[in-house]
Structure 1
Amino acid sequence: MGLRSWFAHRRTPVTAASRPAFAAAIEPKEQEPVTPEQMADLKAAWDELAEAAKESAVTGFHACSRGRKPWQEDPAAVRSLAALLRRVNAEDAATEGPTAK
């Protein structure tokens, strides 16, 4: 049996009963509709993040979600990232002294 056939070979078909118990927890659920207030809050959070990124001269970053909702759609997560950028920028400025930037 070659390597290709070993990977392609499946002894039993996958059924819902044979999937691990956690599979249902990680499958995407239908999202609730976003209200105008939630959308305004999310936009305000993104504005805060954009301002914090501009102040810290960050050119890019990568983040991943820890829950079922992407971090980009969670105002609290976006604000946390903005706070992190501000804190790191303040620590760098304090460490580097008055000649920074």
Structure 2
Amino acid sequence: MRNIAYLLISIVLALPFSALALGNDNPEYDQCILLSLRNSESRIAAGAIKDSCDALYRNSALLLPREKSYYACVLQNVQGVRDAFAVHEIQRACRRQNQM
């Protein structure tokens, strides 16, 4: 019973912070999602695109230049890819190009 109470308290305390994070108005991020995901052909590609948009337009201040280049490379090359293997190979190539 005590564990359930701690769990409920944790959830309640986390809710305002997650609501603030979700309510973050960022037109550049929205544009990245709208333009990049519209031709998405797979769930894996969509995840890579979303992660890249998040990194570039929500967390860019925390990224090194090579990390920004990596995410830009992923965005440029993953759109329209259907196969999970191809997405992973593109990500690996982008990592190699940006020495990550």
With structure 2 as the length reference, what TM-score do the two structures score? 0.31
Higher helix share: 2
With structure 1 as the length reference, what TM-score do the two structures score? 0.31
Larger of the two Rg values belongs to structure? 1
